[in-house]
Structure 1
Amino acid sequence: MPDGRSKLDTRDIENIPYILKIMSLLNVVLAIVFPPVSIFLNEGMGGTLFINILLTLVGWVPGSIHAVWVLSKQGERARI
């Protein structure tokens, strides 16, 4: 196209569910490896991040469990 924009292809639209599944998987991996970073990227600055930082300072496992739990609750809210 002359204006530099590419045409939207139907294959791009068909790949959206696949891309979202990959992003969700990467988000869970990030929640397990770096819990506060995952919370910050999903929830932003707030009480949830502060709680997760405290739990991660207590131990990596409580912080990871909390981060995965927050992600699951966020997924439930998105489906409603």
Structure 2
Amino acid sequence: MPFTGTDICKIIAAVLLPPLGVFLEVGCSGQFFLNIVLTILGYIPGIVHALYIIFRY
């Protein structure tokens, strides 16, 4: 499945600010709040989770 322009924007947002990338993908859900917690605990886990959510959906 090829990437679209919005997917690339979400990936860039996920690397710069992980909760923003998750919010753009799934909205204000449990995954969003989980990503906020992971980002607070460590920036890298937040990025990994955000990219996982973006590639999953």
User: Which band: TM-score by shorter chain?
Assistant: 0.7 to 0.9
TM-score with structure 1 setting the length: 0.63
Equivalent residue, structure 1, for 2:23: 40
Q: Counterpart amino acid of 1:26?
A: C
Alignment of 1:1-80 (within 5 A): 21-74=4-57
Structure with the bigger RCO (C-alpha within 8 Å, sep 6+) is 2
Q: Which amino acid aligns with 2:13?
A: L
| Greater shift in the superposed pair: 61-70 or 40-49 | 40-49
Deviations 1:38-64 (CA, angstroms, capped at 9, x unpaired): 111211111100110000000111000
Identity rate, percent: 31
One-letter amino acid of the counterpart of residue 41, structure 2: V
Q: Which runs of 5+ in 2 are unaligned?
A: none
Segments ≥4 residues shifted beyond 4 Å: none
Structure 1: state its 5+ residue gaps: 1-19, 75-80
Amino acid at match of 2:45: P
